[in-house]
Structures are given as structure tokens and as C-alpha cells.
A and B are shown apart, each in its own frame.
Chain A
């Protein structure tokens, strides 16, 4: 997972540093405002703990071993923003002192292992664990799934970074300048080993450590940095709802700006007609698969309204956005209710 120097071109590693700079600034602000005086030793110990976790080789069936990254575990124990700082510092020390992970690739490694991994893992954990008690079985199941999802999300991002190199950077003869393996090789190679082996190791480690702590000292599982509203402030869900509502109202910009600029369809998102126009024929497989399902609102408007005026289409766009948000929120609510019901049954029995 640690990308060494020389694998990523400047287009990728400079972009990764650009993405990480505000994340680091925000993470240190969040940590400073939440932990105050305790922050420095706790962060240092958190980083040292992350480093040491990466050194534990855990046996897996089949006679092999693997090591966990531990970013989701740190996110569960210290909070995701503290994990950003702790894992970034651990990665910096690994790169600078031990040559594990590149110096130019440091931003990319942090993006994968200190941002994508802890946040996806932590949200998975929060979604499944809900408000269950610290000693509950649901906590360690949630932690294991969080570890698995987090590691695979990070691996997917790393694979994407590797895979785009031949297309992004090549010489005049078309030869790759950096990682020579395209997406068709990098994605399956990384996905297979992480879905089948390393993801399992991460899940086992994260789940078992949380299980151990929930039995021996459950107070440590009460996350120090769980987002909680400031006294007198709006609850988190209200802020989120307002943000989502604002985004839904802004969705017609996605129609207006391309219309203003005279831009066509997004690359690779063509329908059958447009593809026939561009390529001169409709690939047989495309025609067969495209006919399998007809969406009730193609292009975010009812059938027959696709060619309506822009203001009408904007109205349909907003309605589609609202319906989509409601559908996703409903599914999450049902899943949560189902899991909460199971947990209550477990505790009662």
C-alpha cells in the first residue's frame, strides 16, 4: 500500500500534496480545538501506535501472514481527524527514516492511508455500530467491517493512481514514464489481493482489538473526537441536511453551465444514439446490455420531457435530486433500523 518514489509522476504527486495541504490544516485545527493541551503527546503516541501496529504480522489461514495498516483502528480509538494527523506523522517517519513509502509520494500515501482509509472505515463503523454500548458485540463487528471497507477503499485509490500513470505521463514514443501498468492491470491486481487477503487481515485486527478493548476497558472506545455539536450549535444531522438541501437546489448548474458553454455529453457517458454518431456503429454488446433496463426518469426528467426548455428541465433536475436523496436516506434508515432491531434482540436474549 505504501507507494514508493518513482511510481507516480509529478502530475499525480503534486496534485496529492495540493489535496492534502488543506486537509492537514483542517485536521490540525480540529485536533487543536478538541484535544487542546493533551494533543501533542496523544498524537505522538497515536502515531507511534500506528507505526507499531503496522509491524505486527498476523497469521491468516493458508500459512501466510499479513500486517494491518491500523488507520481505521486509530480512527475508531482517537477519531478520524486525529487519525489523519497520527497516520500522516507515522507515514512521514516511515518515509524519512525507514524508506518505507516515497518522499515525493508522501502526499498520495497520506491521501490513501490517512484520509480515505480512516474516513471510509470510520463512517462504516459509525453506521453499523450506531449508539450501541461500548461492550456490545455490534461494535467489534462494525470495526471489522470498517477495517475491511477502509483498506479496500484505500487500495482502490492507490490502484487508480498507479493505473492512470501510463495515460498521464508518457514520452514521445508513447512509453510510460512512471508506473507502466495501466488500469486494466493495476485495478484487478490490487483489488484481488486486498479483497481476499489484506482486507481480511485488516478486518481481523481491527475487530479483535476493539473486541479486546470492549471487554478489558470499554471507556477507551468512547471516541475522543466523535463529532459533537458545540454547546448551543446545530446538531450534526441538521447541518448535513441543510448542506444537502443547498446542493440539491444548486444541481441545475450542471445543466446551465454546459448549455452556456455549448459542451456536449460527459466523456464516456454517451447514450446509444450519440455513440452511433461518434463511432459510426453501435457495438453489439452495448445494444444488448443497454436494452436490459429502462429507467423511469431517463436523464433526470420524465419520458418525453427530455427536450423541454431549460427552466422546466431545471425543475425536474431539482426534483430528481430530492428523490435520489430521499431514496438513499430511506435505504440507510431501513438498514439502521434493521441492525438496531437485531442488536436489541441480542441484548434482550
Chain B
């Protein structure tokens, strides 16, 4: 729970400094999502490595808080790499053996065929590298987008790109209440800790976690009803109105053009 609260406290209201933070949210969503989609289409390693490089360059030189993206830029690709490693073995991807790891003995294990040796294959190594690089590229680009854009601006940008207003409004309200609910959950947790001495059984821990969630839901319902009444009393009739979108500057246009050109270049590289 502490990690989540830290994420919310440090992440959501963080100031987005630097030139990347000043780009219009619609331009960032459009440009970075375009490159992200291209990253799922290219098939060779060079454009994928360039995508990762571009994300790192934006994170380092875009003037955004590097601490916020460092976890995603380092931890998630490392996790994906760990997942991709088995794909390099001959039990998953057959090919010419590069390194023999151990003797398995051959035969069958249930419906699976067991090879004589466990090896790293040339095809497997390529598949694993491409898989890990593609995931790293996508995660890095998404992290940079999130770190360089305030949530309210991000939702406004999505609205500007045609996402239905009702969904955007629910998402925007959700991020506001999320902070409140996390604090509420922390208070429930703290109240329990302050009344606990020593360890408790798994059953009691489970019952406590479920009771906390139940209590959280009860408070959510009460809060939702109060908010609905407050909205109606201020003239809400069910119609969703959003603030007018700002105008695009030359900087926003240049950013989108740069992203489009970069994406086209990646496609040309394969």
C-alpha cells in the first residue's frame, strides 16, 4: 500500500517541467502513440532499439522528472527480459544450437517432447531479443507519455482526439477519488496496525483485508451519492461538458511532424 500511495503522491500532481511538458497533450498523445504503434509493427532489431533510444532521449532531455520514469524504463524491460529468456531455448524455439546448457535425456514428459540437450538456439536468441526489445520500446514510450503529461491534460488530450466525453469524465473523476480512496485504505490499515500486537493467522489477515475492502466500498457508495447530489444541486443534468481545447502552437505541430517522420523512418528500416 505504501508503494501505491508514493506513486500517487509523487506521480499525479508532479510538475511537468521542460519543453516536453509544455507540448499540447493532444500532440503528445498523437505523436507518441503513433511511434508506439509503429513499434508493434516493425520486425527487425534496429528500429526497435532506436525506439528505446528515442524514449530514453526524451526522458533525459525533455526536462521531465527522470526518477518517475526510471523504474519503468529499467524494471519493466528487465522483467520482460527474464520472461523472454526461455524463448531462446530449443524447447520453445528450434534452431541451430549456439550454447549447450545441460543434458535432458530426450523422450516425452506428458504431451511435451523433451530434447536430448537444452540449448540456446540462433533463432531463439533472435526471437527473445526482438520480444524483449519490442516490450521495452512500448513500455518506455508509454512511461514517457505518462511522465510528461499531467493526468488532467492527458484526459483532455484524449477527449480532443475523439474519446467519448463520458469515459473521459469518469476517468478524470476517478483519478481524483483514487487519491482519496488510497488515503482511506491507508487509514484503515494504520488503524488496524495500531491495535495489533504480534503476528496474526493467515485466516485473520484474509478476513481483515476483505473487511477493509468492504468498508472501502461502503464509503465509496456514500461518497458517490454525496457527490451526485452536489453535482445535481449545481445544475448537472447528465450532459457532459468539457473545457474548450487550447490552440495548437507551431511547437506542437513540429513535435507531431517529428514523430510522424521518425515513425515513417522506423517503418522504412523494417
Contacts and interface: CB of A to CB of B under 8 A. Distances in A.
Nearest to B232: A37
Nearest to B40: A104
A177 B43 contact: yes
Given A40-B166, A56-B212, A205-B210, A49 B40 contact: no
Interface in B90-125: 92-93, 111-112, 123
Interface in A200-243: 204-205, 207-209, 211-213, 216-217, 220
Interface of A: 4-7, 9-10, 13, 24, 28, 32, 36-49, 51-53, 55-61, 70, 73, 77, 85, 88-90, 92-93, 95-99, 102-104, 171, 173-182, 184-185, 204-205, 207-209, 211-213, 216-217, 220
A90 B171 CA distance: 8
A38 B174 contact: no
A28 B167 contact: yes
Interface in B41-55: 41, 43
Interface stretch (B59-67, B175-183, B250-258): B175-183
- Interface size class on chain B is 35 or more
B238 interface: yes
A98 B169 CA distance: 19
Given A38-B224, A48-B177, A220-B217, 8 more contacts: A7-B135, A38-B225, A43-B170, A45-B181, A45-B223, A55-B4, A178-B134, A208-B207
B95 to A, nearest CB: 8
B213 A46 contact: no
Contacts of A216: 214-215, 218
Nearest to B205: A59
Contacts of B135: 4-7
Contact of B218 (A59, A211, A220): A220
B209 A56 contact: yes
20 contacts: A5-B135, A5-B138, A32-B166, A38-B228, A42-B228, A44-B173, A45-B224, A49-B216, A51-B174, A53-B213, A55-B1, A58-B210, A59-B202, A96-B142, A99-B139, A175-B93, A180-B128, A181-B87, A204-B210, A216-B218
B23 interface: no
Given A38-B225, A181-B92, A220-B217, A6 B137 contact: yes
B220 A45 contact: yes
B133 to A, nearest CB: 8
B37 to A, nearest CB: 6
Contact of B213 (A6, A13, A209): A209
Given A89-B171, A99-B142, A180-B92, A44 B128 contact: no
B113 to A, nearest CB: 10
B224 A42 contact: yes
A271 to B, nearest CB: 22
Contacts of A53: 213
A155 B221 CA distance: 29
A222 to B, nearest CB: 12
Closest 6 CB pairs of A and B: A208-B210, A5-B138, A44-B173, A212-B214, A6-B135, A180-B87
B220 A89 contact: no
Contacts of A73: 213
Nearest to A63: B202
Contacts of A104: 36-37, 40, 138
Contacts of B228: 37-38, 40-42
A99 B32 CA distance: 14
A180 B206 contact: no
A45 B174 CA distance: 6
A5 B210 contact: no
Given A4-B135, A45-B224, A28 B166 contact: yes
A216 to B, nearest CB: 7
Interface string B73-103: 0001000100010110000110000000000
